[in-house]
Structure 1
Amino acid sequence: MNAPGLPHTPPNAVGAEQALLGAALHNAEALDRARDHVRTEDFYDDVHRQLFEAMCRRRDEGEVIDWRLLTAILGEVDLGGVKTSTYLAKLAAEAITVVGAPGYARLIAEAARMRRVLETAQAAVARMTDGSISDPAEYATHMIATLDEVASAGLAEHARRISVGDGAYAVLVRVDDTRKGRAPRGVPYGLPKLDADTLGMRPSQFVVLAGRPGMGKTTVALHVALNAARRSGAVGFFSLEMGADELSERVLAAVAYDPRAVSPLTYRSIAEARGLSDTDLQRLVDAQDDVAKLPLWIEPQVGLTLGQIAARARQMRLRAERRGFPLVAIIIDHIGLIRPSKRYAGNRVQEMTEISSGLKGLAKELGIPVLGLSQLNREAEKRQDKRPQLADLRESGSIEQDADVVLGLYREAYYLDRQPDLSDEEQDRLARCQNELEIEILKQRSGPTNRITCFCDIACNVLAEAAR
């Protein structure tokens, strides 16, 4: 029984299905062009679905496609008052040209996606009215995941294959633009040496920022986010650990930082809101005015699934485009807090494989870099040299494999501060490295590995390249 206001006939493109199948009967090249855009299950009519599947199978086997052979395969049956052979002959007589095949294929696929949306909505109405939903939040998550598949299928139209010639030409255009100063190499990290070694965060890259607790992952991530929002476009920051207030305190501390100030304006002092001078308050007001102009959007909700992150990232992209600038990066703090699907419940390695491959897929789909923060396991603590290694990544098999770039963070001062009975030499070293942070390129698919030393004031959430 149809819900009130809903159509009795689901969205379909039966006419496009007939035209496309007729074109394939005339010229198998129409089938090749259509398969880039439509799948067998996208066809609304059962007979058309069988015909398309049979055509694809014969094409893959190198066999001829014509209406007589298809009649033999399907059998001479009654198709609603018309015999199979008569129906196929009619399709062939009313066929479109090969050139029109992709357009008709897209119409069929779009109608199929509309049916999926309608089915999801009808199922939700049915379950809500019969009282079978016990947890609205859980069912909403399921609906988001289902609708996200529809959205992904639609956006995939923009990522079709290209010839190597077209790809090479695009590279040459980019090289020429870069040499003439017309195009950036990638979204900059905001650290000149790191940007030179990596060419910035490049489109479709999955970048992992890894470190043990206390190494400054959020400090680095916010530095990257602020820099990218100032210089390149909109940035989405998914904070799965900190609330919006806590993250905003860190942002204000970073923007209000003044190395000449008598007393530092830390994010802790901002949170406590005590002992702040009139000068400090003015610095905070100026910092707020500055960040208010930046397209840096924070999503502070905990327990987001990969599908929810993807859906909100797409919303951010549309929001940015409406405002006249691009969405240039997504940052996730941190990967380990993404709520996995129930597909691999209890198997953490498989859950992380699904998440890391999904983040790489999101980067490719949106055509922007995705920066994910990741905790290292405790193996580093057992070594004398506690600098991070690729093997220290939690569930490293999947993250290490999917990441295009892995950056490891290390602060020697963190360990010296916690070491009892420091020797004179160790105390001297602590004084020298108190505000040092090492960023090591542990992996880069198309560039060097290297170690960069930065100035880092963790309390003020400030990062800068160390003076040489």
Structure 2
Amino acid sequence: MNKTINDPNSPHSIAAEFGVLGSMLIEEEIAGEVIQLLNKSCFLVPANQVIFEVMTHLYDNNKPLDVIVLQEELRSRGLLDQIGGSEYLFSLVEGVPSAGNVEHYAHVVRDKSILRQLMAAADEIGTLTRSGNMDTEELLDRAEQLIYEVTQKKAVNEPEHIYNLLLNIFADIENSNHSPGLSSGFPDLDNLLSGLKGSTLNILAARPSMGKTSFALNIADNVGVRQSEGVLIFSIEMSKDQLARNMVCARARISPHKLSYGVDEKEYKILTTDASVFAQAPIFIDDTPAISIREIQAKARRFKTKNDIKLIIIDYLQLIEGPKEKKENRQQEISFISRKLKEVARELDIPIIALSQLNRSVDARDDHRPRMSDLRESGALEQDADSILFLYRDEYYNKETTEPGISEVIVAKNRTGPTGSVKLRFIKEYMKFMGISYQKPT
């Protein structure tokens, strides 16, 4: 790809590059805006790349941004002759009459850079296609990833000094009084997890009948309806019609079973009112059966680009199809899927909630509370997951429980915070999780 990006015959504008650098030297107040828009790889001319990088360093360290200081910094680094000497630096200042057009120059430089990246992506796709070393699914996934990176106009991901990262963290603290992640809709859980944070893989696991799908859909409702943030749900076990029915019934607090034999006039009115709420909610459901991990990656990228989704929910992980070469070893297949889901979360900078099954050994022992070892093919999931949540309802195993209707959310792993448990009220009839203080109307 670099050959195309640095090819002098590829799209570029020497005049615009010249204009950007000259404008920054004439009026250093504009440097911050330019540095936010461009990085050194946006420039085609090697000398301009060096100059912009050094100017960025001076700006970041609160040093004057003028031709004399720049000249001395380049000389101290042994780079002055490499960029054409002092004459080239002074020509930048003399050749730009005004800094008033710097925004236009910067956008031209960036647009040309994007065109070069697009050409480089096309070249790489062509090379991979001709090589015949990838199967069709792998090739499509790689092609889509390359194009996605260009459409996102990603800057080069270079190592960054820890102090700059800490400055960003403290800026977030000063500018925000709320949880840094999406709210799940359950305050006690948000307090433990600090919300659903970007780039995280979160495993939600339980034995059947614990309500893990309902819990995930309740979170989708809270994010999509209450917070108006995009949610993409991959439902591999249930149809999208079933999920939509369950979501509106949970919100309306009407049993989904009633829809099968009819609801009364009052219930119908409640259902239509609550259904209308979803009209504006950016919630999308995909129920492709036996969907592959590569299909999930591709669709996630498309929906991130088109609909700016902020959360992905997958029901459930063990039903995702892995690559053909991993089929013989289920543990390797789950490990591959787990790793790819983590990559998607990081690439799109959004949280993923992946539902998972638990081994039957939970039911066989006296203490039925789930443990990490109960996760099916648990090794990779334990390693890749940022958080692991278990659902447990004592009344399912113990009919004489002292906590009927109570569901326990056990945070067994939390990479960035404490573990613990949160108790919620589960209204099984409505498939609805509520705060512990909620009392069902009589």
Indicate the residue corresponding to 2:383 in structure 1: 401
Is the 1:208–1:407 contact (alpha carbons within 8 Å) kept by the matching residues of 2? yes
Matches within 5 A, 1:66-465: 109-117=117-125, 141=137, 144-151=140-147, 153-154=149-150, 157-158=154-155, 159-179=157-177, 184-229=179-224, 230-257=226-253, 265-270=254-259, 272=260, 274-320=261-307, 326-416=308-398, 426-427=399-400, 429=401, 432-465=402-435
Is the 2:11–2:115 contact (alpha carbons within 8 Å) kept by the matching residues of 1? no
Is the 1:219–1:458 contact (alpha carbons within 8 Å) kept by the matching residues of 2? no
Q: Distance in 1 between matches of 2:48 and 2:172?
A: 38
Is the 1:13–1:107 contact (alpha carbons within 8 Å) kept by the matching residues of 2? no
**Inter-CA distance 148–251: structure 2 relative to 1 (3 Å threshold):** same
How does the TM-score come out when normalised to structure 2?
0.71
Is the 1:438–1:454 contact (alpha carbons within 8 Å) kept by the matching residues of 2? yes
Indicate the residue corresponding to 1:14 in structure 2: 7
Is the 1:187–1:232 contact (alpha carbons within 8 Å) kept by the matching residues of 2? no
Q: Deviations over 1:103-148 (max 9, x none)?
A: 8987654322113445788999xxxxxxxxxxxxxx8745532423
**Inter-CA distance 160–332: structure 2 relative to 1 (3 Å threshold):** farther
Structure 1 position 150, deviation (Å):
2.2
Indicate the residue corresponding to 1:71 in structure 2: none
Matches within 5 A, 1:22-101: none
Structure 1 position 283, deviation (Å):
1.3
SS at match of 2:154: helix
The aligned amino acid for 2:352 is V
Q: Distance in 1 between matches of 2:221 and 2:330?
A: 33
Structure 1 position 13, deviation (Å):
6.5
**Inter-CA distance 120–384: structure 2 relative to 1 (3 Å threshold):** same
Q: Distance in 2 between matches of 1:349 and 1:415?
A: 29
SS at match of 1:186: coil
The aligned amino acid for 1:410 is Y
Q: Distance in 2 between matches of 1:196 and 1:184?
A: 8
Unaligned runs of 5+ in 2: 13-40, 55-83, 90-105
Q: Distance in 1 between matches of 2:416 and 2:352?
A: 17
Structure 1 position 16, deviation (Å):
5.8
Is the 1:156–1:365 contact (alpha carbons within 8 Å) kept by the matching residues of 2? no
The aligned amino acid for 1:340 is G
Structure 1 position 17, deviation (Å):
8.1
Structure 1 position 460, deviation (Å):
1.0
Q: Distance in 1 between matches of 2:422 and 2:348?
A: 29
Is the 2:198–2:345 contact (alpha carbons within 8 Å) kept by the matching residues of 1? yes
- The count of aligned residue pairs is 358
Q: Distance in 1 between matches of 2:48 and 2:325?
A: 42
The aligned amino acid for 2:421 is R
Is the 1:16–1:108 contact (alpha carbons within 8 Å) kept by the matching residues of 2? no
Q: Deviations over 1:302-339 (max 9, x none)?
A: 1222221121112212222xxxxx42111111111111
Is the 1:237–1:331 contact (alpha carbons within 8 Å) kept by the matching residues of 2? yes
Q: Distance in 2 between matches of 1:391 and 1:446?
A: 21
SS at match of 1:157: coil
**Inter-CA distance 306–213: structure 2 relative to 1 (3 Å threshold):** same
SS at match of 2:350: coil
Give % identity: 27
SS at match of 1:236: strand
**Inter-CA distance 377–109: structure 2 relative to 1 (3 Å threshold):** same
Structure 1 position 156, deviation (Å):
8.8
Q: Deviations over 1:269-291 (max 9, x none)?
A: 22x1x141111111111111111
Is the 1:331–1:372 contact (alpha carbons within 8 Å) kept by the matching residues of 2? yes
Q: Distance in 1 between matches of 2:127 and 2:258?
A: 53
Q: Deviations over 1:193-238 (max 9, x none)?
A: 1111111001111111011111111011001111011215111111
Q: Distance in 1 between matches of 2:48 and 2:301?
A: 38
SS at match of 2:8: helix
Instruction: Kindly report the root-mean-square deviation, in angstroms, between the aligned alpha carbons of the 2 structures.
Output: 3.9
The aligned amino acid for 2:256 is Y
